[in-house]
Every structure is written in C-alpha cells, then in structure tokens.
Structure 1
Amino acid sequence: MLNFVFKNQTEILFGKGQMSEITSRLPEQAKVLLLFGGGSIKKNGVYDQAMSALAGVDVIEFGGVEPNPTYETLMQAVTTAKEHDVNFILAVGGGSVIDGAKFVAAAYHFDGEPWDILVKGASFSDPLPIGAVLTLPATGSESNGNSVVTKKATSQKRAFSSPTVQPQFAVLDPEYTYSLPPRQVSNGVVDAFVHVIEQYLTYPVNAPLQDRFAEGILQTLITEGPKALSEPENYDVRANVMWSATMALNGLIGQGVPQDWSTHMIGHELTALYNLDHAQTLAIVLPALMYAQKEQKAEKIQQLGKRVFDINEADTAVQIDKTIKAVQDFFEAMLVKTRLTDYDLDEKAISAVVANLEKNGMTALGEHGDIDLEKAAQILGLAL
C-alpha cells in the first residue's frame, strides 16, 4: 500500500428533511449566493424547500449553470457575487453546479485571470466557503475538492482540485432525486461506476480493504442502478445510489493505491468538442481503454470479473474479454451507448480529440503514464 494522508471535512446531512439543518451551518450574518442550474429545482420543490430553510437569510440567486459548467457563465456568477459582497455559496443541484461553486469560490478573491487556476494551476487564497444540496448523484463533488470547467471560447475542459473549496456540508436527501429524467439517472450511475474503476482498475499494491470497498460500491451500483430506472420513487434504491456515488469519489477508496483517470481525460475532450454528456464519453472510452490496456491491467481486470461480475473462467484471455464485455453490457443496460458511431462521430472525431489532448498537455496518461497520443488514438479507434 502506498503512503497517504486522508481527511474529509464535509459534513454529510443524509436523509429526508435534512434541508432544515442548513441555516445552522451558515456563518453569522450570512449573505448567500444561491447557485443553481437550469431551473429544475423550481419545478420539483427543492428551491421552495431551500428558500424556506433560508428564511431570514440574505440570499442572492444565480441560475443557469450548465451541465458541464462553462467558464463564461461562472465568471458572470463571480461578478454577481462580488457586486453583492456575498460571504457564502450554497450550490443546489448536481455535480456541475457544485463544481461551478468551487470555481466561483476560488475566483472570488483571485488577483489575475481566473482561467489560470484551471490551466496553470495558479494558487488562490481565501476562497468563499461552500455548502451543497445534492439533487443528482453522480460526480461525488459534494464531498471532494475537485472541479471541472469548460471554456466554450477555446473548446477546453479543464480541472482543478483543492481541499480549500470542498463543501463544508452537503445535504443528501434521496427524495430530491425522484424527479430526475431517466437520462440523468443513467448518466449518474455510469459516472459513479467509472469513478470507482479509475481508482481500482490499475495494478495490485496489497490494499485489500480499498479493493473491497471499491468492489462493494461497484456491486451496489450494478444492482441498484437499473432499479433506479424502473422504480424511480423507491427511497431505498435512491438512497443506495446516492450514497454509492458519494463514496465513489470522496477520497476514501483512492488512498494508498495508484489511480488512472485516463478515461476521464480522453472523455473530457469529447465533451469539450462535441458536447456529449460526461457519462456518455466515459461509456465510450472505458471498454476500449480496458481492451487496449488489458496486459497492464490484467490482474485487476480478472479480479473485477470474479468479484463484481461473478465471471470465473480458467482461461485468462477469456476471463479478461468477458469482463470487459460485462462492463460494456452494464453501460448499455443503463441506457448509455458505448460507441462513437452511436453519437454520429467518426474518424474525424478521433483526430480532433487527439489534437486537443496534445494542446492540453495530456500526452502521458494512465497509472503508468504510457497512454500517449498514439495509444489514445488506438483506444478511440477501438471505440468506433
């Protein structure tokens, strides 16, 4: 097991009615920027519950944060926050809104071009504190310091991470997910699944507890994910999916183990260029990447097959191929397509993605740093 330091500062308020607890977590004389997305929270009652919980608190609203939040929109939110001298951000929505809140928090006091936080790793200080009300379980952003932002002007999707922008608290009420469209449910389950895979499917370092944690999350998602589509108002199913998505990327299962993240990096370019849903890009890339990297990942792919999918073949090659197929079949069962051609993309998209990877310095991806531009093109070719 590798050395690590682990601390998760986010207080999780899980279950029905936990929205009522948020006011007690705000600073004195709070002036809150309420950040949200396209307006679904005003249709499903979450907005009304939030405003009821914030009665007596000075609230400034900013809506319109997109799926795959854009730098352009978030800079408008920064301007609004500064104009009203806010001292706290409450993100109400899914991972995109929470990611956006982290960027706004970091940019608020930043002296310079805030895009540098994402492309140059520029340091920032005194970010605004953040709370989150989760409505779409997927990214785990509610209890980590990660943020991904897209700049429309340059077709770049870049990330930054800092514990200083990790939410102080997060409300996880499974009832808030009842009204999600099936596409968002599917995407959320696939996203959480791949988050686990990025931290699990590398090479063994004698970390059995992390492996078992990861496998437990994967098994839960495989079991409960399809039920979330067929039983949208089953509280227990929604609770299990929500908690699995949080646990997938709150830092716990990634401690002391190598991590990959090449599926995400390649997928980010597909989103930046073609506006595909984040989970759609992951479903395209991961099976092909597993096949292209099956020698490097052989031991963990076999373990994944045995422990998660109950595949037990004496022949190693058959075991590996059946496991990769099982992953692809799971994505398809969650109604997320797994081929570039399913999204009307062809060889031209491969060239464009590889060019963007080069532009963004993503030329040595994976746990071994061995996924260069040529290997990335090979992976995308397998995904056609």
Structure 2
Amino acid sequence: MKFSYVNPTQIHFGQGQIASISHAIPSDKKVLFLYGGGSIKHNGVYDQVVDSLKQHQFVEFAGVEANPTAETLDRAVELVKEQQLDYILAVGGGSVIDGAKYVAAASVYDGEGWDILIGKHQVTDALPIGAILTLPATGSESNMGAVITRAATQDKLAFMAPAVQPKFAVMDPDVMKTLPERQLVNGIVDAWVHTCEQYLTMPVGALVQDGYAQALLSSLKTLGEQYDQRDNDQWRANLMWSANQALNGLIGSGVPQDWATHMIGHELTALYGVDHARSLAIVQPWLLRNQIEAKRAKLEQMGQAVFNLDPSEDLAERTIDAIEHFYQGLGVATQLVEYGSDKEAAINTIIAQLEQHGMVALGEHQAITLEHSREILTAALK
C-alpha cells in the first residue's frame, strides 16, 4: 500500500446550501453558468443560483447533453474566450460537471479541445470550477475525471487532471425531489459499479478500503431495497453522499482497480445511446462471470460481507447472481436489446471501437483482451 491522497474540493452538504456559492466564488470573477436541458428552471434551482450570483457578473450556457459532446462544449469554450470569463459554475449531474471540466481546460488552451481526450494535450492548467450537484451518481463533483463524447465519430473518452477538480461542490438533497425515477435508479447503479470497480479485484489486505467499500455497497443495497422511501429526506441524503464517496478517490487509494466494465460500457452508450449506468449493469455481470477465477476471492468476500451469503464452493457464482438480481429488482436490464437485428455485426462494431480506442488489455491484470471482450459481449447482448 503506497499512495498519495488529497481531496481539495470543499463540500457544502445539506438543505439550503446553494446560497453558499455567493461567497464560495470570489466576487471579482466573471462566471460561466453552465447547465443542461433546463429542468433546473422548473425545480427552483435556477432561481436560487441566480439569486446567489447577484453580486457576480455571469453568462449562461444551457444545453449540455446527458452524455456531453465536444461539439456543444466547444461553443461554451468560444463563449468563455470571447467574454473573458474566468470561473465555471456547473449546475447539474455528472454530465454537466464533466462538461465543465472540459470547458475549463479547453478555455486556456489554444488548440482543439478534443486534443485533451486523445492525449495530444496534457492538462496542467484550467479555469477554476464550482459545482452544484442535482443528480447523484458519478462523484464528478469532487474528483478530477471527466468523460466526453465526440458525436461526429461516436467516440466516448475520458481524461483526468488535478487542474479540473472542482474547488467546491454544493450537495443539497432537496434538488433530487423532482428527479425522474429513472435517474434516481441510475444513480444507485452508477455508484454501485464505481465502488465495485475499485473493490472487486484481488485481495491486498487493505482493511480500510475494503471495509469502506463494503459499507458503501451495503448502503446502496439498502437504498435499493428501500426504494419506496425515495421521497424521504434521509433516503435522498444517503444516496447523494454514497455516490460522492464512491468516487472521490479514497476507496481506490493504494488498491488495484479494474474499470473494464466502464470501458466496454462507454461503447454501448456512444453507439446505442444506452444510459451510462444501464450500460454498466449490462456489462458487469457477464464480465464478472468471464473473469470469475481472477476475482473469485473478492467475490466471495463481497458475497458474505454485502449479501450475507453462506460460504460454499459456488459462493462467487451466487454473488454474481445476487448482483444481477439487485439490478433487476430496480427494473434495470442486464442484457442489451437496443443494438438492432444483427448481433454479430453489433459485437464487431463494439470490438472495432474498443480496438480503435486502445482498449485491448483491460482490467486490474490487463488480462481482458479483445477476445475476452467479445465473449463478454456475446453473453451481454440478448
């Protein structure tokens, strides 16, 4: 166990905390107020933000997609440069916050923003970012990662840079009151798989990280089982905090990480428009079955610690079944049906995208080859 860890994002958690942005953003900053499709204008969030920014100069940019595209975000970058804005305020879920990270980095770069995603430009500087979280799922509000899509080529790629970590994040569970049920369920699944990607690898004796990951999985499992209580303030607060803790860097410090489910899932989203969280639920059970021997020990640990399963020779197999049943109990499919009529052609397309993006050796052991990915997809496509 050897690592360096810091999380510099200041969290303002709880009801009424949107007002805190009035002093969280320096008053001399010219702010880009970045948001998505306009739902914040119907749930009171927009009015709260505008009221809190009344001492600031700000310009609005709406229309960031659920899977943010470089094409849209490049227009925001142009706006930042034209108006010499110097602070980004992202109001939305992980997609808007990821988009803000792209805008913040691309706005201080003279080249094409997509260079960041293909590794042509290494981000060392960016405009400061603040985030108001409206959809708990990705943890993007207090980490340094972002995933961006280029619609023209159906590429969905990620970048990470300390420079784009938000300076602060407002997390008011009240903003979840008007979220569609599909998005609440997606938040549970997304946070669950984020935790698994850092936990379901191999034993390394990391008692704190393992214990914390198991606590998060148990919390998310309880939230799923108590889904009928989703209108409860406590339920909302627990989901918002669990999703944040799942991907703020702590449970992954000093331990092996996987992320193969995400890499394959990204292609399903880019090619077929599958919700990000639902792409993960489609891929993960089949990936775990494909890699069961490499992951058997941690699957057995999870089965006992999270699902309270009795020890047995098939404990790992039963744990995967329990994960799959957890998704299905939330109404989330664990096989893809949106790929059209030709299964073989769909698999070939996904494999070609994985190869093009360099995803040819995935997982904690870099042992998931394109052939393994093909086997996983063959099982995952119904």
Considering the TM-score relative to the shorter chain, is it more than 0.5? yes
Q: Which residue of 1 aligns with 2:268?
A: 270
Q: Give the C-alpha shift of residue 121 in structure 1.
A: 5.2
**Hey, what's the Cα distance between the residues in 1 that align with 2:104 and 2:11?**
20
Q: Which runs of 5+ in 1 are unaligned?
A: none
- Pick aligned residue for 2:257 from 256, 259, 267: 259
2:105 alignment partner, SS class: helix
Q: Report the TM-score, using the length of structure 1 for normalisation.
A: 0.97
Q: Which residue of 1 aligns with 2:203?
A: 204
Q: Which residue of 2 aligns with 1:66?
A: 65
The residue type paired with residue 79 of structure 2 is T
Q: Give the C-alpha shift of residue 296 in structure 1.
A: 0.3
**Hey, what's the Cα distance between the residues in 2 that align with 1:226 and 1:272?**
31
Report 1:37-76 matches (<5 A).
Answer: 37-76=36-75
**Hey, what's the Cα distance between the residues in 1 that align with 2:97 and 2:152?**
22
CA contact (8 A) 1:121 1:160 kept: no
The residue type paired with residue 376 of structure 1 is S
Deviations 1:132-160 (A, max 9, x none): 00000000000000000000111100000
Q: Which residue of 2 aligns with 1:364?
A: 361
**Hey, what's the Cα distance between the residues in 1 that align with 2:5 and 2:251?**
10
1:89 alignment partner, SS class: strand
Q: Which residue of 2 aligns with 1:245?
A: 243
The residue type paired with residue 346 of structure 2 is A
Q: Give the C-alpha shift of residue 342 in structure 1.
A: 6.6
Q: Give the C-alpha shift of residue 114 in structure 1.
A: 1.6
The residue type paired with residue 268 of structure 1 is H
**Hey, what's the Cα distance between the residues in 2 that align with 1:224 and 1:343?**
31
CA contact (8 A) 1:201 1:301 kept: yes
Is the alpha carbon distance of 1:342 and 1:323 closer, same or farther for their aligned partners in structure 2, counting shifts above 3 Å?
farther
Deviations 1:291-314 (A, max 9, x none): 000000010000010100111132
**Hey, what's the Cα distance between the residues in 2 that align with 1:126 and 1:323?**
44
Q: Which residue of 1 aligns with 2:294?
A: 296
Q: Which residue of 2 aligns with 1:320?
A: 316
Report 1:337-376 matches (<5 A).
Answer: 337-341=333-337, 346-376=343-373
The alignment yields a C-alpha RMSD, in angstroms, of 1.2
Is the alpha carbon distance of 1:344 and 1:309 closer, same or farther for their aligned partners in structure 2, counting shifts above 3 Å?
farther
**Hey, what's the Cα distance between the residues in 2 that align with 1:339 and 1:224?**
23
- Pick aligned residue for 2:376 from 370, 375, 379: 379
Aligned length: 380
The residue type paired with residue 58 of structure 1 is Q
Q: Give the C-alpha shift of residue 226 in structure 1.
A: 4.3
Q: Which residue of 1 aligns with 2:100?
A: 101
Is the alpha carbon distance of 1:271 and 1:245 closer, same or farther for their aligned partners in structure 2, counting shifts above 3 Å?
same
2:325 alignment partner, SS class: helix
1:329 and 2:325 are equivalent in the alignment: yes
1:139 and 2:138 are equivalent in the alignment: yes
Q: Give the C-alpha shift of residue 344 in structure 1.
A: 5.4
CA contact (8 A) 1:109 1:125 kept: no
Deviations 1:158-215 (A, max 9, x none): 0000111000000000111111101101111100000000000000111011000000
Greater mean alpha carbon deviation, residues 279-288 or residues 18-27: 18-27
Q: Give the C-alpha shift of residue 248 in structure 1.
A: 0.1
Q: Which residue of 2 aligns with 1:233?
A: 231
CA contact (8 A) 1:110 1:125 kept: no
Is the alpha carbon distance of 1:279 and 1:325 closer, same or farther for their aligned partners in structure 2, counting shifts above 3 Å?
same
**Hey, what's the Cα distance between the residues in 2 that align with 1:184 and 1:121?**
34
1:149 alignment partner, SS class: strand
Deviations 1:5-26 (A, max 9, x none): 0000000000011111111111
Report the identity percentage: 54
Q: Give the C-alpha shift of residue 247 in structure 1.
A: 0.1
Deviations 1:54-94 (A, max 9, x none): 11211100000001100100001101111111110100000
CA contact (8 A) 1:225 1:241 kept: no
Q: Which residue of 1 aligns with 2:147?
A: 148
1:81 and 2:83 are equivalent in the alignment: no
The residue type paired with residue 77 of structure 1 is A
1:309 and 2:307 are equivalent in the alignment: yes
1:83 alignment partner, SS class: helix
Structure 1 consecutive aligned stretches of length 4 or more whose deviation exceeds 3 Å:
342-345
CA contact (8 A) 1:13 1:169 kept: yes
CA contact (8 A) 1:202 1:259 kept: yes
1:204 alignment partner, SS class: coil
**Hey, what's the Cα distance between the residues in 1 that align with 2:211 and 2:335?**
30
**Hey, what's the Cα distance between the residues in 2 that align with 1:71 and 1:160?**
13
1:341 alignment partner, SS class: coil
The residue type paired with residue 331 of structure 1 is Y
Q: Which residue of 1 aligns with 2:174?
A: 175
2:194 alignment partner, SS class: helix
Deviations 1:1-59 (A, max 9, x none): x3100000000000011111111111241211000000000011110111111112111
**Hey, what's the Cα distance between the residues in 1 that align with 2:340 and 2:218?**
32
**Hey, what's the Cα distance between the residues in 2 that align with 1:120 and 1:292?**
31
Q: Give the C-alpha shift of residue 343 in structure 1.
A: 6.4
1:295 alignment partner, SS class: helix
The residue type paired with residue 192 of structure 2 is F
